[in-house]
Each structure stands twice: as C-alpha cells, then as structure tokens.
A and B are shown apart, each in its own frame.
Chain A
C-alpha cells in the first residue's frame, strides 16, 4: 500500500485548492487555510522523500491499468526531491502571499489558483506518462496565466499576451512531438518508450522528434533564442507570483528536458552539441541582459535565464558527474530564485520603487534586513562555501574532463557577470545614498503593516535563507543526493523495472 504515497502530494494540493474555493471571498480564512495546508503538504512531501530515499523508486498505476496501457505515476529520487522543493517553496510563497498580496487581488481566487499551480507542478514531476505530462503542463500554464493577470494592470496584460502566446506555442510544439512519438512507437508510457524508441528504425525521424521536444521544453525553460517571453512578463505580477514563477516554472521545463533526454531519447553527439551551444548562448545572453537592466525584478528575470544555462550545460555534457552538477544547481536555483523575488517584494514594499538607480540607503535604514538579504544574493553568486559554488565546481571539472573548454569559459563568464550584477545591485540599493523618493499615496508601506503581515513576509525569506545555507554548508549531503539522482537517471533500469513491474 506504500505505493499510494506517490499521489498523496497531488491529493493534498487538490483538496486544498477545492477547500479554498469554498472560502472564496473570506480572504482572512483563505490565508490561514493556505498556510496550514501548505505545511501539511510539506509534511507529505518529506514523507514521500524519506520513503523513496530509503526504499527506492515507487510507482502506482492509475485505475490499476497495467503499466504500458494506463497512466503511471512514478516517484524516483529526482521526482521526490523536486516535489519536496516545490513543497518548501509552496510554504514560503503561500506565507509571503498572505502578507504581501493586496486583498483586491486575493478576492479573485488567488489562493485556489496558486494551489492548482502547485498541483500542476507536483503532477508534472510525478507522472510517468508523456501525454499526462502535457496535461500537467497545461494545468501549470492556465493557472499561471490567471496568476499573471490577476489585478489586470496595463503592464500585466501586456506581459501576459506575450507569455501566453509563446507558452501556448510551446504546448503545441510539445503536442506535435507527442503525436510523432506515438505514431512512431504506439506508446505513451515513458518507461515503455525507453525501449521502444531505441528499436525504431527511422533514426532521422527520432532525431527530429527529439528536437521538437527540445524546442517545446526549451520555450518553457527559457533557453537562448526562445526566452523573450520571460523578461517581458516576470516583472509585472505581484512579487509573490514572480517568486513562484521564477523559482519553479522554468525549472519544470528543465526537469522535463532532463527526464526526456535521459530516459526516452539517447543523446547523440549532434544533440549534445546543440544542447551545449544553446547552454553557452543562454549563459551569455542572460548575463549580458542582466547587467544592463535597472528594474530590480528584470535583473532577476535575466538571471533566471542565465542560470538555466548551467543546468543545460550539465545535461549537454551527459556524464554522470555533469548531470549531478546540473541537479545540484537545480536544487540550489529553485530555493535561491524564489527567495530573491520575495526579497525584491520586500524592498518594493519598503521603498515603493523597483528602479535600482532611484533606490538607496537600504543598509543604513535596515541593517538587519540587509544582512538577511545578503544570504540569497551571495548564495546566487556562489561565494564558497555558499550553495551556488558547489555545482559549478562539478560542472567545470566535468567540462575539463570532457574537453568542453568553451562551456567552461561560458560558465566562468556567467558567474563573473552574476558577481558584477550582484555587486552593482548591492552598491546601488544597499550602500548608495539614495535620492528622496516621493511618498506614494495609498501605498501599503512596509512599516504601516501589522506585525503579523511583517512576519508573514519575512519568515519565508528566513526559511529559504536557512535552506540555502544548509545547501551550502551541508553540500556533502546534497552532492550525495545529486549523485544518486544522476546515477538513477543514467542507469534507468530501476525506473523502468519499477514501472513495468518486471
């Protein structure tokens, strides 16, 4: 019966979303239910993770249809880890939303939609069926559209038009890829596809199909030529929404890429070169984009793009250690990006401005907060021994062994530019003597908020900072985890055997 555990995270999120819909206009209750429900979900996710860590991969067949025919849900270490990270980010953002999102937005179903988004994320991580993955992706994008547009400001609607066009386009490409894959193999179960794709004779069509998947997931994970929807939209919604988007949405695309290219398709040298080239260009363009921006959230948006490059570089090198580095970076990035966008939300609540040229004096006014904010910022740069340093170490050493010197150069360049960007941000926002900003009328300034709301906004930042610190100082444990995930991904027999119950 322990297999049932795989769908518990889905059930908790779905029940939570449905329960929240009954409190539609009672936002006070919604806040309480959302935070406590997220904590319960965190408990379930920890339970799942510990079970998978100790007992190995779990799988469950929906409706008891046998494996290649029914829809399968699988929790291997990779999926369980990401469900756990989603749950941690979920608790943090739920609490942050309760404190920071204005009631006018909460009244239009912010919390139910937020939990449907988390449901979609959990589903995408846990499913073992490629068409089911498409359905979860659709749940993710439709809920993200609503979260992005809720409030209906001009910038939000403009950003949403771009966001939705490119994401729907990505879904259509993904659907086309699934259609071709089904036509080639007659199966949709990912474990089953692993052997069936290898047996297809028409290799050219398989390669084209792999590229279709790359484009579809590439748009979703904001890879180099396909990322333009991201900086156009991520800085427009409330910071709580940006936090969950920046932390998790692009990472689902990365997850799907890693899953598809380790399980279903064999990565040939051509595809490897494509992935590496895309990774280098992503690192480069994201870094250069970040350095010229002035809006604090746009800077972080470009850094989201830039750092996707590390994970794709790890995937492109396709050795076990490189994938372990990519996984470690994924874990680090989810925590730190969520934290950064929440941090920008707090800065906005204090100063009512996003422009780093106009901000200033933060360190003089709020020394303790500045110290807190330094943790995610320095973790992002990867100052040893903080969390961003360790995955880069594995990536660079693997780049050396596989003789991908351009990749090493791009990784070092991107790290260096990230450092420059963060120094610039620190100098402008925290150290500089800023100009006097005009008081905005009717703006919910931070110091006018009640103590409960202040706690709700700062507690998640502290929580995620502690997690980030653990990722850095407990890097040995995380490296073990990442290596085990990479081993399971490269040697996918355990996954396949568990699903097909051989």
Chain B
C-alpha cells in the first residue's frame, strides 16, 4: 500500500509540474490542482498508514494499549484541502477574467508587465 501511494504521489507531483510548465492557462490550473493533491497524499502517507486501528482509548483504561493510526495527518489534510479549494476557485475565476481581458490563453503572450518600458 505504501509503495503504491508513493508511486501515486510521485506521479501527481511529476504531472503537476509538467502541466505548470505548459503554456496554456487552463493547464496551469490543472497542474496546481494535481500538485496540491500530491502534497495532501504525501502528508497522509508520511503520517504512517495503520489499518483498522482507530485512535480510541478503551473505556476501562487511561492510555493507548496498542499501536493506533495517527489522526493528526487527516486533520492537516482537511485543512490543506479546504485552503487549496479556496485558492483554486479564486484561480479559476482569475484565469477566466485574465483570459477575457488579455484575450489570450498563451502564457508567453502575457508579458506586458515584464516588458521594459
């Protein structure tokens, strides 16, 4: 399972970076979404995967008796997902506006602010 997830994370990062390096605005957004998901899965993976051992202390004891899965990574991922959802929605609207105003989808032609004047 870990190996599978690791390959998955690597694929997501690689394809995300590839997409960001393309010239199209839409592919830029897709790249950012893929990278964000890759990072979330990475947190999940690095929190150590333990199957079928919820972090619940039995009623008759005060401490954990056996190994349990760490609940914190899931809280972190949840936060990260919400944040990236907000950022991505903003990004999509921004790209739509930018496309409408600049009238191009090609990032190489969006260079008015970099030009020497």
Contacts and interface: CB of A to CB of B under 8 A. Distances in A.
Interface of A: 131, 134-135, 138, 141-142, 145-146, 149, 152-155, 157-162, 164-165, 168-169, 171-172, 175-176, 178-180, 182-183, 186, 188, 231-233, 235-236, 292-295, 355
A440 B75 CA distance: 54
A160 B116 CA distance: 18
A322 B47 CA distance: 38
A236 B28 contact: no
B76 interface: yes
Contacts of B48: 183
Contact of A161 (B25, B35, B117): B25
B83 interface: yes
Contacts of A233: 113
B89 to A, nearest CB: 10
Nearest to A149: B94
Given A164-B87, A182-B43, 4 more contacts: A134-B80, A161-B95, A179-B46, A180-B42
B46 A152 contact: no
Contact of A232 (B72, B80, B114, B116): B114
Interface in B22-76: 25, 28, 32, 35-36, 38-39, 42-43, 45-48, 70, 72-73, 76
Given A159-B113, A172-B35, A138 B83 contact: yes
Contact of A165 (B28, B86, B112): B28
Contacts of A154: 101-102, 112
Given A142-B86, A155-B112, A179 B39 contact: yes
B86 A158 contact: no
B98 A158 contact: yes
A135 B113 contact: no
A165 B16 CA distance: 12
A182 B46 contact: yes
Contacts of B73: 182
B20 A135 contact: no
A164 B102 contact: no
Interface of B: 20, 25, 28, 32, 35-36, 38-39, 42-43, 45-48, 70, 72-73, 76, 79-80, 83, 86-87, 90-91, 94-95, 97-98, 101-102, 107, 110-114, 116-117
B91 A236 contact: no
A169 B34 CA distance: 11
B76 A131 contact: yes
A176 B32 contact: no
Query: Would you call the interface of chain A mostly helix, strand, loop, or mixed?
Result: helix
A294 B117 CA distance: 6
Contacts of A186: 70
8 contacts: A142-B86, A142-B87, A146-B90, A161-B98, A168-B32, A176-B39, A182-B76, A292-B116
A165 B20 CA distance: 9
A107 to B, nearest CB: 17
Nearest to B44: A179
Contacts of B43: 175, 178-179, 182
* Max chain B C-beta neighbours (<10 A), residue from A168, A178, A235, A355: A168
Given A168-B32, A176-B39, A180-B46, A293 B102 contact: no
B98 A182 contact: no
B3 to A, nearest CB: 15
A183 B47 contact: yes
Contacts of B113: 155, 158-159, 162, 232-233, 235-236
A450 B28 CA distance: 45
B20 A169 contact: yes
A147 to B, nearest CB: 12
Given A165-B32, A169-B35, A176-B39, A135 B91 contact: no
Contacts of A158: 98, 102, 110-113
Contacts of A188: 72
Nearest to A153: B101
Contacts of A183: 45-48
Contact of A142 (B25, B90, B107): B90
A410 B47 CA distance: 43
- Of A134, A154, A179, chain B has the most CB atoms within 10 Å of the CB of A179
